[in-house]
Every structure is written in C-alpha cells, then in structure tokens.
C-alpha cells in the first residue's frame, strides 16, 4: 500500500510539473540585447566620411508583447546628420533562405571588402585573406543596415519565440519588416528615403517586405528595390524534369557558359551570341519542347544540331536527353573531356572531381567552394578586430538546418493550398501601383546558373509589372557578380546612379 501511495503521489507531482512546463515553456529573457558601437572614417565617392558602426541585437515581440526573437544587424550611419534626417538609408540582406548578410556585406556594400580571384581561376585557399577598403563604397549617398534574419548570423529565437514563427515565406518577410520599422523608429528616420537591397532569395524577401511595410497600421513606402540575381517567380529558376519553362529560361545562360569556355560562339561577342540564344529559345526551342513526342524525327535532329551550336554538346547526347539538359548535368558534361566541372553560382569557375564520369557534381558547387572560406573568415575577423564585437555564440554565415523546415505556403495554415512554384511577382506588381515613386534595379549575371538572366526577363515581362519603373542591368560574372572586379565597379556605379535618380 505504501508503495502504491508513493507512486500515486509521484504521478501527481510529475503531472503538475508537466502542466507547469506547458504554461512556462518559454525561457525568460534576462539579458539585455547586445550592442557594440565604434567610430570610423573612410573615403566614399571622393568624400571623406565619418561614420558610426553599430552592431547590435534588436528584440522583436510576439502578438502577446513577449520577447520572441533577436535580430542581429550592423548599421553604418554618417556622423553629424540631424535626427530625423532626410539622408537615405538602405537595408541589405542576402538570401538562402538560411544565409546571413555576409556576402553583400563583405563583397559589395560594406566599407571593407574581402578579395577573391576576380577571374575565377583558383579558389580562395586558406587564411589569411586580403581585406581592403571598399573603393566603390556608397556611404556618401546612403546609410547602410545589414540584416541577418532569424536563424542566420547571430539572430535567433528567444523567450517565447518558436522557429516556425519565423522560418517561412510570409513569416520571414513579416519579421524583417518589423525589424525595419523598429530601426526607423529608434533612429528617427521616418522621413528618410528608404531602399532595400536583396540578393537571390533576398529578392523574394524584398517583395514580401515591401508588401508587409505597406500595411500593418504603419504604412511605410519604399523609394527603391535593388534586386541582385532576382528570384521572384521560381518557375523559371527550378531546373527539374518536366518543367519546360526552366529548360527555356536557362538555355541562354548555358550558351553564355559555353561561349566563356570556348565551346561555342567563338568569333562573336558575348552579347550577340546571347541574343541569338534568346531568339532560338523563344522561336524554336520552346515550340519544340511543347510538341514533345509529336515532333518529327527530322525536326528533332535539326533542333539538336542547333542546340549543339549553342551549348557545345554532342548532338547525340542532346537527342538521348530528349532535347532537355538539366543544369546539374550540364555543368558536369560541358568540360567532361577535360576532366573538369563548372560552377553554378558562377559558371566561369571550374574544378576537378575524383569521379569524372559522375552524372552530376559530387563536391557541391565549385564556385561556392572557391569563395566561402574567405568571406566567412573576413567577416569574423572584421567584426572582432574593427567593430569590437564579442558574442558568446557562433555566427552562422549559413544555416543548413533552416531550409528543410521552411514553410513555403503563401497562405495561412487554416486555408487550403495546392503546392506550386513560389511566386511573389504580383506583390511587386501591386507595390509599384500603390507607390508611384518606387523604382526597381535588377542586376543579372550572364554566368549565373542558379537564377538565370533570361528568367528575369521572362518574369518582368509578365505579372503586370510596370516596365517603365524597371532598370535591367547585365554583368559578365555569376550570381554574385561583384566577385569579378570589373563588374564590382560596374554594379556599384549602377547602384550609385540608381540612388541618385539617374538610372536608365
């Protein structure tokens, strides 16, 4: 009896603990947000600028006004500007989802840059890596705020926060918009011109953030969006079997890649050869794909022969592939005779793999492998040595655990939804109509086999997007075109003109 009574008491005690845990499951937030501030000087646009660097956490609250997330940001603000200044401010983030803002911070917009091989001939190797003053910096024109979304960099859920409240298409956009409002409120910048610069999925986020900022009882209109390697409609950037659109949108980039590696188009300029590939894609290739197995053998052979002209692959290979070459196969096949694989983020890069005969790359993306260590080390060194940042946890330049848990649903969980490709293009279309001053700069790399330039053209020609507000630019590099020194200068110049209202 005593044993039975003891077990009953123990069970009641454990049950009470469980109920208590359910009501107090969140960890209390006992520490104030971290902040590190330092003053610096640099020359930007020919002007000597004194600026304040502020690296800090911003706590976000949930609907119950409880702390739920900490957003890490690094801000650069010109010293001497009055509160409530009309000086522009640009909010910057990368993509993924799951990527911190390290790439745009240390590659394009930040006051310091890391140098990697501009001509894509070799990888970054091991430390030390060159860290230089940014000769094309923009602090004479705009303040800069680099944002790491929840789960990246030092940003994380805290208190009563849950990752599912932030790791999703709509959730992510809402949290970044909330951070931007908090930054503007704290820095008294409601009347400053405001821009967003995003890269890759960061452009997907940018459209969502623009929509979020236009509502919520605190409408905030943006002056401009800088979309680097845009990804608004994923139909044209998802190279998988049976997605005929992607075979067409990737074709001109494959042709550009073959041109670069001297497998096709020799004797012609890149621009002329790419235009030929565009015309072929629309006028011949797309109709052939849509005809499928109703295409005659003779016509199929004619199309394959013309594809050989553009892609540098054997006609027999193209016929065996049913005129459909998936991007992961192409990067392995193009230089297979040399035992080399080319990159996807930047198809100028090439490297070796032990398994020469593999269908697809076996060591990940050679372009990403060639620069990632340099960017990571440079940012960590820069933050600790110059920004005096001391944090008790690792800074995640990328978070692989985030993507598998990402909620791509564009509608709430209680609403029906049949899965389809992500598409936020209509959000941009609506934003342009709701805000007459909103302008958009779209930066495309000819050698980007992740978000191809022809997909950008395909996307912006549809969805009701107002073409007179769009400035489309092209660069002879890849997804991160700023790793190529001539295009770093060209892109920075284009952004400078865009911010000055002189973009064409």
Nearest CA to 368 out of 381, 349, 352 is that of: 349
Q: pLDDT tens-digit profile of 12-27? A: 333 333 333 333 334 6
Give the bridge partners for 477, in sequence order.
none
- Asked if 414 and 301 sit in the same domain, the reply is no
| Domain range enclosing 484 | 35-234+371-499
Do residues 169 and 409 lie in contact, with contact meaning Cβ atoms separated by under 8 Å? yes
How many Å apart are CA 400 and CA 393, to the nearest integer?
17
Q: For residue 41, count CB atoms less than 10 angstroms from its CB and return exposed for 0-12, middle for 13-18, buried for 19 or more.
A: exposed
Nearest CA to 43 out of 141, 159, 135 is that of: 135
How many Å apart are CA 286 and CA 386, to the nearest integer?
53
- Asked if 132 and 155 sit in the same domain, the reply is yes
For position 27, what pLDDT does the model report?
Answer: 61
Which parts of the chain have pLDDT scores under 70?
Answer: 1-28, 503-504
For position 8, what pLDDT does the model report?
Answer: 35
Nearest CA to 151 out of 89, 94, 227, 212 is that of: 94
For position 12, what pLDDT does the model report?
Answer: 38
Domain final position from 315, 343, 367:
367
Instruction: Please name the residue ranges forming H helices in 113-224.
Output: 169-187, 201-213
For position 414, what pLDDT does the model report?
Answer: 86
Record the tokens describing residue 256, joined without a space: 């550009």
How many Å apart are CA 488 and CA 107, to the nearest integer?
8
- Asked if 338 and 472 sit in the same domain, the reply is no
For position 10, what pLDDT does the model report?
Answer: 34
- Asked if 203 and 185 sit in the same domain, the reply is yes
Nearest CA to 403 out of 167, 204, 230 is that of: 167
- Asked if 194 and 60 sit in the same domain, the reply is yes
Instruction: Please name the residue ranges forming H helices in 163-314.
Output: 169-187, 201-213, 244-260, 270-280, 286-291, 297-311
- Asked if 402 and 464 sit in the same domain, the reply is yes
For position 216, what pLDDT does the model report?
Answer: 75
Q: pLDDT tens-digit profile of 111-128? A: 999 999 999 999 999 999
Domain final position from 315, 340, 367:
367
CATH code, domain with 486 = 3.40.50.1820
Please state the φ and ψ torsions of residue 79, each to the nearest 5 degrees.
-75, 140
The three-state secondary structure class of 76 is strand
Q: Which residue has the tokens 């660097």?
A: 53
For position 219, what pLDDT does the model report?
Answer: 87
- pTM (2 d.p.): 0.93
* Residue 348 CA: distances (Å) to CA of 201, 334, 476, 496: 22, 12, 9, 26
Record the tokens describing residue 352, joined without a space: 């070796």
How many Å apart are CA 197 and CA 494, to the nearest integer?
13
Does residue 320 belong to any structural domain of this protein?
A: yes
> What one-character DSSP code corresponds to residue 375?
H
Does residue 1 belong to any structural domain of this protein?
A: no
> What one-character DSSP code corresponds to residue 168?
B
Record the tokens describing residue 443, joined without a space: 């930066």
- Asked if 150 and 249 sit in the same domain, the reply is no
Nearest CA to 112 out of 87, 136, 88 is that of: 136
Could you count the other beta carbons within 10 Å of the beta carbon of residue 59? 16
- Asked if 45 and 158 sit in the same domain, the reply is yes
How many Å apart are CA 477 and CA 486, to the nearest integer?
9
Does residue 393 belong to any structural domain of this protein?
A: yes
Does residue 163 belong to any structural domain of this protein?
A: yes
Instruction: Please name the residue ranges forming H helices in 188-285.
Output: 201-213, 244-260, 270-280
Share of the chain above pLDDT 70, in %: 94
How many Å apart are CA 120 and CA 484, to the nearest integer?
8
How many Å apart are CA 148 and CA 70, to the nearest integer?
10
Q: For residue 186, count CB atoms less than 10 angstroms from its CB and return exposed for 0-12, middle for 13-18, buried for 19 or more.
A: exposed
For position 503, what pLDDT does the model report?
Answer: 66
Our separate counts of H helices and E strands in the chain read 14, 14
Nearest CA to 207 out of 434, 412, 399 is that of: 434
Does residue 504 belong to any structural domain of this protein?
A: no
- Asked if 251 and 344 sit in the same domain, the reply is yes
Does residue 438 belong to any structural domain of this protein?
A: yes
Question: How many domains are there within the chain?
Answer: 2
């Amino acid at each position: 009896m005593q044993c039975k009574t003891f077990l009953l008491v123990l069970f009641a005690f454990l049950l009470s603990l469980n109920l208590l845990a359910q009501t107090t499951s969140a960890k209390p937030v006992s520490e104030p947000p971290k902040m590190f501030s330092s003053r610096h000087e640099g020359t930007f646009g020919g002007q000597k600028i004194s600026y304040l660097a502020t690296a800090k956490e911003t706590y976000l609250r949930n609907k119950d006004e409880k702390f739920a997330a900490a957003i890490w940001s690094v801000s650069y603000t010109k010293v001497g500007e009055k509160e409530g200044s009309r000086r522009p401010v640009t909010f910057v983030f990368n993509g993924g989802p799951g990527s911190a803002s390290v790439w745009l911070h240390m590659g394009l917009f930040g006051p310091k840059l890391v140098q990697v091989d501009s001509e894509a001939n070799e990888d970054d190797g091991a430390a030390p890596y060159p860290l230089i003053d940014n000769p094309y910096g923009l602090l004479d024109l705009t303040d800069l705020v680099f944002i790491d979304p929840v789960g990246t960099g030092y940003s994380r859920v805290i208190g009563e926060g849950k990752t599912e409240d932030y790791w999703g298409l709509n959730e992510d956009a809402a949290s970044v918009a909330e951070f931007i409002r908090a930054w503007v409120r704290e820095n008294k910048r409601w009347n400053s011109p405001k821009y967003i610069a995003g890269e890759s999925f960061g452009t997907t986020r940018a459209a969502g953030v623009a929509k979020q900022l236009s509502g919520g009882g605190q409408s905030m209109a943006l002056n401009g969006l800088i979309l680097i390697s845009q990804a608004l409609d994923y139909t044209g950037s998802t190279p998988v079997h049976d997605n005929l659109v992607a075979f067409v949108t990737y074709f001109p980039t494959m042709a550009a890649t073959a041109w670069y590696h001297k497998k096709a188009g020799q004797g012609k300029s890149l621009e002329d050869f790419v235009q030929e590939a565009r015309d072929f894609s629309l006028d011949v290739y797309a109709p052939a794909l849509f005809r499928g197995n109703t295409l005659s053998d003779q016509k199929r052979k004619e199309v394959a022969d013309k594809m050989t002209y553009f892609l540098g692959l054997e006609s027999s290979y193209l016929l065996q592939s049913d005129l459909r070459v998936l991007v992961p196969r192409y990067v392995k096949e193009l230089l297979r005779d040399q035992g080399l694989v080319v990159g996807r983020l930047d198809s100028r890069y090439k490297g070796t793999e032990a398994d020469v005969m593999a269908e697809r790359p076996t060591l990940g993306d050679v372009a990403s492998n060639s620069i990632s260590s340099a960017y990571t080390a440079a940012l960590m060194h820069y933050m600790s040595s110059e920004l005096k940042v001391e944090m008790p946890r690792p800074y995640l330049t990328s978070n692989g655990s985030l993507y598998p848990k990402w909620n791509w649903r564009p509608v709430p969980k209680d609403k029906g939804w049949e899965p389809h490709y992500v598409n936020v293009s209509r959000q941009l279309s609506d934003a342009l109509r709701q805000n007459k001053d909103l302008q958009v700069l779209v930066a495309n790399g000819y050698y980007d086999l992740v978000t191809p330039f022809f997909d950008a053209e395909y996307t912006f020609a549809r969805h009701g997007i107002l073409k007179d507000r769009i400035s489309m630019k092209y660069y002879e590099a890849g997804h991160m075109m700023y790793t190529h020194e001539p295009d770093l200068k060209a892109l920075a110049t284009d952004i400078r003109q865009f911010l000055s209202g002189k973009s064409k």
